[in-house]
Structure formats: structure tokens, C-alpha cells
A and B are shown apart, each in its own frame.
Chain A
Amino acid sequence: MVTEEKKKELLAKLRTAVISYDEDTSKEAAQEALDVGMDANDAIFNGLVSGMVEVGKMFEAQEYFVPELLMCADALYAGLDILKPHVKQMDLGVKGSVVIGTVEGDVHDIGKNIVKMMFDVAGFTVYDLGRDVPLDKFVQEQLRTDSDLVCLSAMMTTTMTGMKKVIDDLRAKNPNVKIMIGGAPVSQDVADKYGADGYAKDATNALKDAINMIASLKKMKDEAETRKAK
């Protein structure tokens, strides 16, 4: 069994690897964690993700800029790729699936990818449509996968308006689906106006909101089923 001391050391190593955007160390530490028999969940959440949370803070404090943020995310994925196959059970209370993409006309997908990463880490099933996604595609994909959640991203005010159409179409087809939007021009006001269930300022918030939404969605479904059973 792995000693507490060794565990601490490895968690710190994973965390530092993400913060100092060091892919090699991230891989190395992830492998080491598996070798000594550490729990992969522990390594991901208390190591890699804890590092990324710190990176998020540094980004907000304008200590890190976009390039560092992206390299940190790459370092996180490098470790995650090694650890993920060994994750037994993500213990988040809820699990869900999500359709995500950047709307038609918009090729800016960095933010979308970071949000996607948070879903990946949390063990969601992610259907990533990529960028410049035709508006109908979101609806089709949601129906095909029966996802709990649809996330739309837009970077420009001109493409943002496409989100309204997707939301209306989704609602018409499937009133239960939860919809989140994000991106530079998006605000809570816009989310309210467009009829989205949530708006997320950044990736961490997106994940928190998403979990809450899915939890409430699952609850609604359960209640409906119990009613039916009676």
C-alpha cells in the first residue's frame, strides 16, 4: 500500500506539473501514481485538477495569459490520458452526457475546449461537435444521443445570435434538455433573453452549473417516473 507521504509527494508533483505546464513531468507523475497503486480518482482530482484550479486563479489574477493557460491544459490532459483508463467510478453523485460545440460561423474554440476538458475530467460523456457547427446539427445530435445537456459557445456578437435559434429549436423538440451558453460576448442577460438554463463565465463555473442542472434534471425525471408508477 502506498504511504501517505509518497501520496502527498505525487499529488504535489502532479499539481506542480500542471501549474508549470510541464507535460513530461505530468506523464511521469501519472505513471508513477499508477505504479505505486494510488487511486486514479485521487490523482486526478487532488493532483491534476487541483493544479488547474490554481491555474484558473492565476489566469484571473492576470499572472498567466492565454498561452500558459493552454499549455497547462495540455499538461493536464497528458496526465489524464494515462490515469483515465484506471478510473473505476467517478464519484460526483451525477453522471451525464453533454453535446458541446461552437456555433456556425465561429471558429474560436479554445474556450469550448477548456469547458470540454472539465466535463472530460468529471467523467461526463462528451459529444464534441467541434467548431463552426451548423445550427441544426446541435438539435440532431441531442436527439441522437439523448444528452442531458447542450453547451453552446460563441466568441463573436455576430455568431452569438445563432444560439437563440438553436435554443428555440431544442426547446421545441425536447423541452427537458438543459442548455448552457458561454463565450466572450455572452452574459447572464443574454442567457436570460435567449432562454438558456445557464451561462458560465468560465470553465470551472460551467462544470459546477452543469452538475447542478443535471442533478435537477435527473430529479425531475425521477419524480415523473414515480408519479407514473403510482
Chain B
Amino acid sequence: MKSELRNELMGHGAEVVGFAGLQGHMSGELAHLDKAVSIGVDRRLNEDTLRLLVKLQKRTVRFLKSRGYRTLAIPPDSDRKKGTFISKLYSLFNHKMAATSAGLGWIGKNGLLISPDYGPRLSLSTVLTDAPLGPDAPMEHSLCGDCTLCMTYCPSQAITGAEWSRSSPFVELVKLEACKSHKATKRATDGKPNCGLCINICPYGRKSITEEHDGKKLRN
């Protein structure tokens, strides 16, 4: 069932698909949905990215439901419809938790999920389920090493340089206030709130110049 689902999602535009076992880590309301399917797609941050993520998520839900399992789709962060009942529970679970638990990557110094192949250039969504999907090996440590590019280039010095590991997942990686205030200033000056330097600069998954010249798709 696992490889069937993975193949189906990969065949419809997912870049990475991982399965996480979260037994004993879920808060009460979600305790019975302790497996997660973590789906990552190429982060281009346009309408299509969102549409693709939602599509893949619905596909996953259909796949699992048709086999008689329960699902709770946690929508992409940029598509959380306010005002629905279930949106109250979204905050109980985050996509990066699913992704690291499914071994898709680790949390980098920039506070983002870093995949060995795609770096921080993935957009994520998650489907929680009670289906017996054998978990992939979780990621235990950060593989950022000595690299501090994102720290150096961060215009608001928001990145602390602390390192994530599964045993200490709550260290402060990014000073949110600093990051937020920079975005606010940027929005005020040129109308574009997004900064994204810590994404662009990350050497993991960055396409080399030659590849760009080969006419391949440019990631960020």
C-alpha cells in the first residue's frame, strides 16, 4: 500500500513523499491518527504550487479513505481557510514535524525543512491517518554542519545559529520578531513582503549555474 501511494503521488507531481510514525507524540485530539504522509513539492510559491499541493492531498485522502482508513488533511500553510471548524486543530500539528519524522530532511539553521536533494525549496502538506503505513526512518540531526550562509546573509540577523536535533526540537533557530519586522519594513518600502534570502542562499539543492544555462528549470 505504501509504495503504491508513493508512486501515485510521485506520478502526479510530488517531488518527495515520506511516511512518519508518530505513535505517542500526538496531542489528545489527534492521538488516533498517528501516522503521517508528508508530501513535498517544488517550492515556486505561486498559485500552481498551492493547487498542486491541494490536489495531491486530496488524492492521498481518497486513496486512504477508499481503503477504509481515516484521514485528516493538514492543508498547506498558505491555504488554511479560516472559519472552518477543523482549522482550530491545524495548529496542533506542523508540516515540518511530519517531514523530519518521515526522514525527508532536517530543520536547518534558517528554521526551514532542508531536504538533501531540494534544500529548503519544498512546499509541504501533510495527511494524518490511522492506516498502517510502515514509517520511514526519521531524521535525527541537522546536516547543516559548519555552514552559516543563511546566518550571514540574513538582512535582519534573525538567525541564531543554533542547531536542531530531534532530541531538542524547540531551540530558538530564528528570532521571529526580527524576521517579521524585516518583512514588514520590506512590504512598506517595495510592497513585497517576502524576503527568502535564507532560502536562496542555502547550498543544499541549489542548482548550479551550468544547469541553469542548460535550460533546466530554475529553482528560485
Contact = CB atoms under 8 A, between A and B. Distances in A.
B86 A67 contact: yes
A142 interface: no
B173 to A, nearest CB: 28
B88 A68 contact: no
Interface string B1-38: 00000000000000000000000000001101100000
B89 A67 contact: yes
B170 interface: no
Contacts of B70: 68
Interface stretch (A5-13, A69-77, A153-161, A183-191): A69-77
A114 interface: yes
Given A20-B65, A71-B72, A65 B32 contact: yes
Given A67-B30, A71-B72, A110 B85 contact: yes
Contacts of A20: 65
A65 B86 contact: no
Given A68-B70, A71-B72, A114 B85 contact: yes
Interface in A126-146: none
A70 B90 CA distance: 12
A66 B72 CA distance: 11
B84 A67 contact: no
Given A20-B65, A67-B72, A113 B85 contact: yes
A68 B130 CA distance: 12
B33 A74 contact: no
A74 B86 CA distance: 7
Contacts of B84: 70, 74, 77
Contact of B89 (A66, A77, A114): A66
B85 A70 contact: yes
Nearest to A113: B85
Q: Is the interface of A mostly helix, strand, loop or mixed?
A: helix
B70 to A, nearest CB: 7
Nearest 7 interchain pairs by C-beta: A70-B85, A70-B86, A66-B29, A73-B85, A74-B84, A67-B72, A71-B86
Interface size class of B (residues with CB under 8 A): 10 to 19
B38 to A, nearest CB: 18
Given A20-B65, A71-B72, A65 B29 contact: yes
Contacts of B30: 67
Contacts of A71: 72, 85-86
- Of the candidates B58, B88, B89, the one having the most CB atoms from chain A within 10 angstroms of its own CB is B88
A70 B89 contact: yes
A110 B88 CA distance: 8
A202 B200 CA distance: 51
Contacts of A70: 84-86, 88-89
A110 B89 CA distance: 10
A67 B29 contact: yes
- Of the candidates B29, B65, B70, B85, the one having the most CB atoms from chain A within 10 angstroms of its own CB is B85
8 contacts: A66-B89, A67-B89, A68-B70, A73-B85, A74-B84, A74-B85, A74-B86, A113-B85
A17 B94 CA distance: 27
A113 B84 CA distance: 10
A67 B70 CA distance: 10
Contacts of B72: 67-68, 71
Contacts of B32: 65
Nearest to B58: A24
